[in-house]
Amino acid sequence: MDFFIKKIFENNVGKDNLVHLQFQKFSRGEFKNRAIVIAKNSKNKYSISTTAEYANEFVRTLAEKLGNNKTRVTGVIISTRDLDKEIDFENKKQFMGIKQYVINNEMNGNEILDLCNKFPLSFLGLSFNINGNELKIKQKAPKSAKPSSKGEEKISADFCKLKTSDKEILKGLIFDSEINLDFKEIEISHDFIVNEIVITDEIKKEAGENYSKLRELSLRKGKIIRKIKVDGKEFVKEKEFEI
């Protein structure tokens, strides 16, 4: 699977709503140290740590690989919607309109994919193993997106942890032609710079008088600065976007 940053840099977004959802929460401003990836390579076995942006994509990717096979799935589904009658959950917590459903079930990959497809706006903090791939995601809601301020500390990239020897997964995260996948250690971070909120006549027509819908459909225009440190070397890439 190509993760959302790769899709943007390779002009492969099209009408991909999953990429749009990644930026839906952003206002105008500069958002530093987003979508961080830290990976270590030990004899082609990769330990990958990331920030929360990749959580749902990791869940989807491993669910696709799991297919009809089953595994124990634990974690939480966090939503503003009431999902009581739509999912099988162990218990539920609620605070300020945010609902957290605790999951502890045997599930196959298609059942997990069904959750991804039915609830794209929900956060899937699910952990499970499949054929040597071990995924662990923190059981809490990610922090809201706020513009960066001076002196801001770097965000810790430990929200999602994935152990894998699958180079196809790695290529979805580390797609740069300058990088050989035999690296020892790599760190990638991104600054999201949103210069404009684009609202077309088509979007206005579809949203009507619904302001929340208007905000969901509106596009973010700006650029991504991709900063890479790999085995002592550093380089920077930029990509403009309208998503």
Tens of pLDDT, residues 124-137: 999 999 998 999 99
Chain position carrying tokens 């609902």: 99
Count other Cβ atoms within 10 Å, centred on residue 77: 22
Same-domain pairing of 66 and 184: no
Query: Radius of gyration over alpha carbons of the chain, in Å?
Result: 18
Q: Give the pLDDT confidence of 14-47 residue by residue, as tens digits.
A: 878 999 999 999 999 999 999 999 999 999 999 9
pTM of the predicted protein model: 0.94
Same-domain pairing of 40 and 81: no
> In whole angstroms, what is the distance from residue 230 CA to residue 209 CA?
49
Number of domains in the chain: 2
Helical segments of the chain, H only: 4-9, 17-23, 55-66, 109-118, 167-173, 201-207, 211-217
Same-domain pairing of 226 and 156: yes
- Which residue, among 57, 33, 64, 228, has the nearest Cα to 149 in the 3D structure? 33
Residue where a domain terminates, one of 95, 119, 141:
141
Q: Give the pLDDT confidence of 103-162 residue by residue, as tens digits.
A: 999 999 999 999 999 999 999 999 999 998 999 999 999 987 777 766 555 678 999 999
Looking at residue 150, its pLDDT comes to: 61
**What's the Cα-to-Cα distance from 127 to each of 29, 102, 131, 161, 174, rounded to whole Å?**
33, 12, 14, 9, 22
Same-domain pairing of 119 and 154: no
Q: Which domain holds residue 72?
A: 52-141
> In whole angstroms, what is the distance from residue 36 CA to residue 46 CA?
16
Residue where a domain terminates, one of 141, 175, 193:
141
Looking at residue 148, its pLDDT comes to: 72
Phi (first) and psi of residue 110, to 5 degrees? -65, -35
Same-domain pairing of 133 and 171: no
Q: In the predicted model, what is the mean pLDDT of the chain?
A: 94
pLDDT at residue 182 is higher than 80: yes
Same-domain pairing of 152 and 215: yes
**Contact predicate 50/57, CB 8 Å:** no
> In whole angstroms, what is the distance from residue 134 CA to residue 72 CA?
12
Looking at residue 115, its pLDDT comes to: 97
Which secondary-structure segment (H or E) carries 227? strand 219-230
Which secondary-structure segment (H or E) carries 34? strand 29-42
Same-domain pairing of 235 and 151: yes
